[in-house]
Structure 1
Amino acid sequence: MKQHLIVEVFRSSKHDGMYLYVEKKVGLTDIPEDLMARFGKGVSAMTMLLTSESKLARTTPEKVTEAIREKGFYLQMPPAKDDYLLDLYKTPTESVY
């Protein structure tokens, strides 16, 4: 059986790369307050028809649909930074002079 869901994707105003997927007809009304406090103002990024054939960059349509059905939303976190880049950033540079 093919499932489809009209979803709206909101971009976080506080965190680059963080997105909330919700059912379009519900919007952000049922998102927990503590999550919205962390997420910030939701900026609508797109509306799409989500089907099992949909191509998503960092997840599957099944995971998004299941989370929306169970919790009312799917939260996509920013991609993890490469550890070695973080180490380079944290390591103090020493002068050779």
Structure 2
Amino acid sequence: MQAFVYKSLRKADTYVYLAVRDDFACLPEPLRTQVGELAFVLDVTLTPERKLAREDVAVVRQNLATRGFHLQFPPKPLLGETPDA
């Protein structure tokens, strides 16, 4: 399965994976508004064996198959850290 990855220029460390390149119409309007402008980062083949740094590849593949997109949020701060503002 091919995925096309975009980063949000509004929300730091937020990425959107799309099943079809530049198919932003599959994103719900509230989500499009929240993430703002998206910049293409890479295309990647998602096989069941592939490892992703912050996401479970099975969840990403399922979301792409059912919704056409997957949203990757920034990592949660570690206990005692404060998130960047």
Where structure 1 has 5 or more consecutive residues not aligned to the other structure, the ranges are 90-97
TM-score (norm 1): 0.77
CA distance in 2: counterparts of 1:32 and 1:11, whole angstroms:
17
1:43 to 16, 29, 39: 39
CA distance in 1: counterparts of 2:66 and 2:22, whole angstroms:
14
CA distance in 1: counterparts of 2:68 and 2:42, whole angstroms:
17
Between Structure 1 and Structure 2, whose CA radius of gyration is higher?
1
1:80 to 59, 76, 84: 76
Q: Which amino acid in structure 1 is aligned with residue 55 of structure 2?
A: T
Q: Deviations over 1:30-70 (max 9, x none)?
A: 11111010011111010011111112001121110101112
Q: Percent identity?
A: 27
Structure 1 counterpart of 2:20: 24
Indicate the RMSD between aligned Cα atoms, in angstroms: 1.7
Q: Secondary structure, in 3 states, of the residue corresponding to 1:45?
A: strand
Q: Which amino acid in structure 1 is aligned with residue 27 of structure 2?
A: I
Q: Which runs of 4+ in 1 moved over 2 A?
A: 24-27
User: Would you say 1:58 and 2:60 are equivalent positions?
Assistant: no
If asked which structure has higher relative contact order (CA below 8 Å, sep 6+), I would say: 2
Count of equivalent residues? 83
Q: Secondary structure, in 3 states, of the residue corresponding to 1:51?
A: coil
